[in-house]
């Protein structure tokens, strides 16, 4: 059974986790512009860089995770839901937090291995890895797949995509 203290801890931990992920994935140009006080004209042509694809994936994923967490929190605080349903919602929240931490760990390890920006998304037993790398060899993909699989006990279905 979840008491109020555990619920508040989970809520605040989730919020801190999502905000820290959002802060880490923000592009450095935002901070540089705010420090210099320069505002660029939006009418200029915008060149999309490959690393912005990774950033866009991370921001989109963070948004989806936040929406899911908020909907689960609403269910958790609903007094009309049974204890069993609340326990399953709580377990789903724990799974989201666990997957988020594993994704971050894998991103760091892949960055150390390949020295490139990357995005990792865990969805059940499927793992999607997107790399911002010029080296799109099968050897690199195999190394990444082995690295990712070493983090899990069960067999995972891993896909690696190069941008």
pLDDT per residue as tens digits for the range 84-117: 888 898 899 999 999 999 999 999 999 998 888 9
pLDDT band at 28 (very low <50, low <70, confident <90, very high): low
Residues 71, 144: Cα–Cα separation, whole Å: 34
* DSSP β-ladder status, 117-123 and 126-132: antiparallel
The mean pLDDT of 119-127, rounded to a whole number, is: 92
> What confidence score (pLDDT) does residue 146 get?
93
* CATH superfamily label, 4-162: Stage III sporulation protein AH-like (1.10.287.4300)
Q: Residue written as tokens 């690696």?
A: 160
Question: How many C-beta atoms lie closer than 10 Å to residue 138's C-beta?
Answer: 8
Burial of 21 (0-12, 13-18, 19+ CB in 10 A): buried
């Amino acid at each position: 059974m979840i008491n109020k203290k555990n619920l508040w801890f989970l809520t605040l931990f989730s919020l801190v986790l999502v905000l820290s992920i959002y802060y880490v994935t923000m592009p450095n140009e935002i901070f540089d512009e705010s420090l210099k006080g320069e505002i660029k004209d939006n009418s200029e042509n915008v060149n999309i860089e490959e690393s912005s694809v990774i950033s866009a994936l991370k921001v989109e994923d963070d948004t989806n995770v936040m929406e899911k967490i908020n909907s689960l929190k609403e269910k958790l605080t609903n007094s009309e839901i049974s204890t069993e349903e609340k326990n399953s919602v709580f377990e789903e929240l724990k799974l989201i937090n666990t997957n988020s931490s594993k994704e971050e760990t894998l991103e760091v390890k892949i960055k150390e291995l390949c020295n490139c920006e990357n995005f990792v998304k865990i969805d059940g037993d499927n793992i999607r890895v997107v790399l911002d790398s010029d080296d799109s060899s099968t050897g690199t993909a195999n190394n990444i797949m082995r690295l990712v699989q070493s983090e899990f006990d069960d067999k995972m279905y891993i896909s690696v995509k190069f941008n």
